[in-house]
Amino acid sequence: VQRSHPVCFLYFTKAQCFVILIVIKTCKKMGIQTVAVHSDVDANAVHVKMADEAVCVGPAPTSKSYLNMDAIMNAIRVTGAEAVHPGYGFLSENKEFAKRLAAEGVTFIGPDTHAIQAMGDKIESKLIAKAAKVNVIPGFDGVVKTAEEAVKIAQDTGYPVMIKASAGGGGKGMRIAWNDEETREGFRFSSQEAASSFGDDRLLIEKYIDNPRHIEIQVLADQHGNALWLNERECSVQRRNQKVVEEAPSTFLDPVTRQAMGEQAVQLAKAVKYSSAGTVEFLVDSKKNFYFLEMNTRLQVEHPITECITGLDLVEQMIRVANGYQLQHKQEDIPINGWAIETRVYAEDPYKSFGLPSVGWLSQYQEPLNLAYVRVDSGIQEGSDISIYYDPMISKLITYGATRAEALARMEDALDNYVVRGVTHNISLLREIITHPRFISGDISTNFLPDIYPNGFKGHELEVDERRELLASAAALYITTQLRSQRVLGNLRASTTPMECRHWELCLELGEECHAVEVTKSGNVCTVEIDGVRLEVKGQWNLASPLLPLTINGTNRMLQCLSRDASGRIVLQYLGTLFKVRVLSKLAAKLNSYMPEKVPEDTSSILRSPMPGTVVAVSVKPGDTVAEGQEICVIEAMKMQNSLTASKQAKVKNVHCKPGETVGEGDLLIELD
């Protein structure tokens, strides 16, 4: 890679923009020019503006743009790019793409086609791992062709089993089956997702290791036979087989197990003559037995936490290796300095299956970069659009500390200071995870979320003192707002306006509860009495800022006010979760008791879309009788297919959707009698 020539970086999904920005920053540091490719809907994306050049490669659907090799190869020819960094996306592990680059004399910043093919196919990679004396999971090593064949293999292997796409990654095309019926259903959905995401519907089946840890080893190898393992990353906290929180190092591994895993990862890399950065993923049981899961022949989303504890720039290392340089380090040079945590901030509703996609326009966006030892890898900015076409990840939020406790405390602060408006996001779930006693103690597995929240995530459950803090904050904010509305340029709005009141009696509604509150104000301090307990709320009260830093009885809290209106309704983000509080005067509260209550909609007779997406299949028609739990239709969102079922036995009255249609969250799909 010569400094005087451009390098073309490919951007496949919204998640890809993160790594592309990192690559562009590294290239700027190395004096290398960059070219970005984009779909028409991403013409204003951050990576497009940051690169030296940009080329549109087609419309929004990935098959017509980011997976369109002809269009991408044409962009490379037009710009004269000498090398391609493929990011995290689909083509990053596509051997045909790597072959086409080689035929054009363009350097692929990644491994050669042999390694991509060998490790990209889960069936072949498992056989190679066996030959390289790497521990593997028991199961069927061939391709599963039919649902009935899948059932027979599952029965022979022994339930539970994992059905997975041979060419898969990122949790797509993966299903756990505990019986024959789930195997048939898993085969259908996994093959459809695999075909949609990877253009390859082949599946394999292996024994599902119940309650394991997901721990991966970062490897780095050059073209001269040198290979290193750069310690591990713990990625056990997941939903739908997709990672949510990662950390490096792991709380679970001891030096002996770490070295054994690292050495096996290097053995595998050398077995396929691997060169570049890559990741070997393992499942680890409670006795620290570890089993090869897969190898990702690309940069991982969670690579920043490895960079934090080792001090290495993995993108720079990839570029050096691609240019033929030998590794600069020996195994004994690789340190573990401190601790790093990464949380994946998604445009998702965490109250629906721990995260169903949300779409929208980022009306307000502010990253917590004012805090020390905080890194945010994002590809969006205020005004960006989160669409149905690409991955709903907003950013990767990384914090670093000398100890794990320090890194976690910084992550807590970073999440509280992160402002995201316009889409539903998962910050509430992320904050609950990193502050949960089980996570803090390191007692985690891939079943962490369903174990902790067996009935689904409900947000932060307020303790008595926390409830009082929230109510006191809402009361103080309400009074501050009322006082500000009386003034213009610091003066009372009219001479007839009475002098400021210093004492207020209010009623605060939170959920089904109503609390009588007394407030007095002096300067920036509001004294609030709730249930006989006095709380002192102090703050600068900048009502134009989305962040509301307060001190409540000496404890510093960062709240966010999402909305407030003239009727006293206030939405506050407190301890990561959104709470709706209504503040009323005593008279207004008395009159409000006479207002009729809104009758909630009977949702047992209708089916609404739980997320924005595309209707893949409709299994019923008007007049059909459906049983409770029977599949009615399938919605695909961000390449994940979701089966929607009937909540009761009934007759289908009306069908309001058809395959191929795009639907929004809450759209009416089916009516039942």
Task: Give the whole-angstrom CA distance, residue 51 versus residue 37.
Answer: 9
Token pair 């504890």 is found at 309
DSSP character string of 49-111: HHSSEEEE--SSSGGGTTT-HHHHHHHHHHHT--EEE-TTSGGGG-HHHHHHHHHTTPEESS-
- Residue-level pLDDT at 14: 45
Strands 650-655 and 668-672: antiparallel
Amino acid 476 reads A
Going from the C-alpha of 271 to that of each of 60, 125, 221, 226, 264, the distances in angstroms are: 39, 10, 12, 12, 10
Bridge partners of 84, per DSSP, are 8, 108
Beta carbons within 8 Å of 441's beta carbon, 6+ residues apart: none
Task: Give the whole-angstrom CA distance, residue 305 versus residue 318.
Answer: 17
Q: Tell me: the pLDDT tens digits for 34-81?
A: 999 999 988 888 888 889 999 999 998 888 898 899 999 999 999 999
- Residue-level pLDDT at 191: 86
Beta carbons within 8 Å of 146's beta carbon, 6+ residues apart: 187
Task: Give the whole-angstrom CA distance, residue 319 versus residue 109.
Answer: 6
Start-to-end CA distance of the chain, whole Å, equals 66
Going from the C-alpha of 313 to that of each of 22, 277, 440, 470, the distances in angstroms are: 10, 11, 28, 43
Task: Give the whole-angstrom CA distance, residue 268 versus residue 244.
Answer: 27
Torsion of CA 409, 412, 418, 420, to 10 degrees: 160
- Residue-level pLDDT at 2: 43
Active site residue 298: yes
Going from the C-alpha of 7 to that of each of 2, 16, 220, 318, the distances in angstroms are: 9, 16, 21, 13
CB-based contact 55:75 (threshold 8 Å):
yes
CB-based contact 626:646 (threshold 8 Å):
yes
- Residue-level pLDDT at 214: 97
Task: Give the whole-angstrom CA distance, residue 222 versus residue 228.
Answer: 9
Structure tokens at 266: 């290097």
Bridge partners of 491, per DSSP, are 488
Q: Helix, strand or coil for residue 282?
A: strand
Alpha helices in 462-540 (DSSP H): 464-485
pTM for this entry? 0.84
DSSP character string of 542-587: -TTSSEEEEEETTEEEEEEEEEE-TTSEEEEEETTEEEEEEEEEHH
CB-based contact 536:553 (threshold 8 Å):
yes
Domains of the chain: 8-109 (3.40.50.20), 138-207 (3.30.1490.20), 464-485+500-593 (3.30.700.30), 606-672 (2.40.50.100)
pLDDT less than 50: residues of the chain? 1-4, 11-15, 496-497
Going from the C-alpha of 492 to that of each of 204, 500, 544, the distances in angstroms are: 74, 9, 20
Beta carbons within 8 Å of 401's beta carbon, 6+ residues apart: 338, 339, 340, 373, 407, 408, 409, 410
CB-based contact 400:319 (threshold 8 Å):
no
Cβ neighbours around 465 below 10 Å, total: 13
- Residue-level pLDDT at 489: 65
DSSP character string of 358-416: --EE-SEEE--TTSTTEEEEES--TT-EE-SSS--EEEEEEEEESSHHHHHHHHHHHHH
The string over 216-233, giving b where at least 16 C-beta atoms fall within 10 Å of a residue's C-beta and e elsewhere, is: bbbbbbbbeebbbbbbbb
Task: Give the whole-angstrom CA distance, residue 93 versus residue 170.
Answer: 12
Helix, strand, coil % (nearest 5) of the chain? Answer: 30, 35, 35
- Residue-level pLDDT at 497: 44
Per annotation, catalytic residue among 233, 258, 298, 410: 298
Bridge partners of 633, per DSSP, are 618, 644
